[in-house]
Amino acid sequence: MSPLAQLLEAALFAASRPLAVEELMTLDPQAGEVAVRAGLDELRAAYATAGHGVELVEIALGWQFLTRPEHAAAIEGAQFALRPRRLSPAALETLAIIAYRQPVGRVEVDEIRGVDAGAVIDKLIERGLVEVVSRGEGLGRPLLYATTPQFLEILGLKDLDELPRLEELSVALRPPAAPA
Amino acid sequence: MTTLPPPPSAVDQAGFVVELEQFSGPLDLLLHLIREDELDITDLPIAKIADQFLGVIGDLGLSQAADYLEMAARLLRIKAQTLLPRRPGDDEWEDPRAELVRRLLEYQQVRELVDWLADAAASRAERFARGFMPEARPVPPAPLVIELNELLAAAERVIALIPEPVLHRVVPRPLDVEGATERIQALLGEREECSWLDVVGEGASVVDVLSVFIALLELAKRGALKLRQDGPFAPIVIRREPPRAAA
């Protein structure tokens, strides 16, 4: 591997969070973005081809080493790490709405879910998945919420563009009956 | 029943009742009923679905949940509206179900996204990162390195910020013995004899009564006056001493 790829490997190993390309560029002032991206590709390919238990993954607007899925059960069995707690359906509904409508106020979330979402939103903020980004116009200047990089991380997404597009969803329960 | 995973715990206060019943809200319940009967969501048999909805919230004991009651009321109103006769060819007429159908479709979209998100989270959960922690724990603060002077300065700054405690000051109202003495002497300057009520007046406060009483005792001790009371609770008579001719 090239010296830059080795440097990137060391940095990504040392960090316990995804590192963005912009952050990685500070490792070596000589290396520009193109070189860093090439180094990351080289590193990813090296891990992918040589047969490793970890792989380099693009996640949450950055890069991170993750263990391969086939080892999860054994690692958890030995209690070296635990799978994260699953999110409740209410939390996922709220996350879905905020992810697609952000920045969005609580009233809109309530309206779409048909229930009061206040407590769920507070819980999501506590878990660092949602944050207040601004205040909206209108009565009381409501707080507007958006998802955080942590949200992308727990879903294993590179960025919000990886969420399915609404057009791809099957909207109706079953295809509307053909007009008679 | 849908294949919703059971909630891990009732952490969410909102929809608490609802979570226990495996529905995350009235829209979820409605969608479930529609799916179960394979109804066409865009041509909803509102009377049927309203009756079913009311039946289910009765059976599940969800009648406490305001969100469900609101939906029940909405369904009944739509049902009533669809029963109203309408003139043929009335262009103004709008399907009373339209708003509900729109919301149901929107909510259905959300449910689809929820499935997608749950799948994504489940596959992500199969991969551990370095330093993975099951719950985000606060990072312990770095060891504190500080000079004594800095510490003292900081302490002073903190102390300066402590507001003056707001205390209710209990000010003992001083007895006005001097004032009472003057009043008694003035009265006795005019006449030889006066009564207790002449001195204290009507509606005197406890402090006034005490002041006058102490003043009287003091004057009596000095021999400036004599006090007489003919019996228990009888009026107190105050007499100037030694008697001198009225001016």
Q: Which residue has the higher pLDDT, B200 or B74?
A: B74
Candidate from B27, B114, B136 with C-beta closest to A89: B114
Candidate from B11, B43, B126 with C-beta closest to A72: B126
Instruction: Indicate yes or no: pTM above 0.80.
Output: no
Closest residue, chain B, to A152 (C-alpha):
B121
Percent of chain B with pLDDT over 70: 81
Residues on chain B touching A97 (C-beta within 8 angstroms): 110
* pLDDT score at B53: 87
Give the confidence band of B136 by pLDDT, cuts at 50, 70, 90.
Answer: low
Give the confidence band of B63 by pLDDT, cuts at 50, 70, 90.
Answer: low
Q: Which residue has the higher pLDDT, A41 or B174?
A: A41
- Dihedral sign (CA A90, A95, A97, A103): positive
Which stretch of A73-82, B17-26, B61-70, B159-168 has the lowest confidence by average pLDDT?
Answer: B17-26
Residues on chain A touching B53 (C-beta within 8 angstroms): none
Closest residue, chain B, to A157 (C-alpha):
B120
Residues on chain B touching A172 (C-beta within 8 angstroms): 41-42, 105, 108
Domain A3-77, CATH class in plain words:
mainly alpha
Which stretch of A1-15, A106-120, B141-155 has the lowest confidence by average pLDDT?
Answer: B141-155
What is the topology classification, in CATH, of domain B177-240? Arc Repressor Mutant, subunit A (1.10.10)
CA distance linking residue A134 with residue A137, whole number of Å: 10
CA distance linking residue B215 with residue B184, whole number of Å: 8
Query: Does the A89-166 domain belong in CATH 3.20.130.10?
Result: no
Is the bond into B232 cis (omega within 30 degrees of 0)?
A: no
For residue B193, give Cα distances in angstroms to A93, A132, B219: 93, 84, 14
* pLDDT score at A10: 96
B105-121 pLDDT, tens digit per residue, is 889 899 999 999 999 99
Percent of chain B with pLDDT over 90: 10
For the question of an ipTM over 0.90, the answer is no
Residues of chain A with CATH 1.10.10.10: 3-77, 89-166
State yes or no: pLDDT of B17 exceeds 50: no
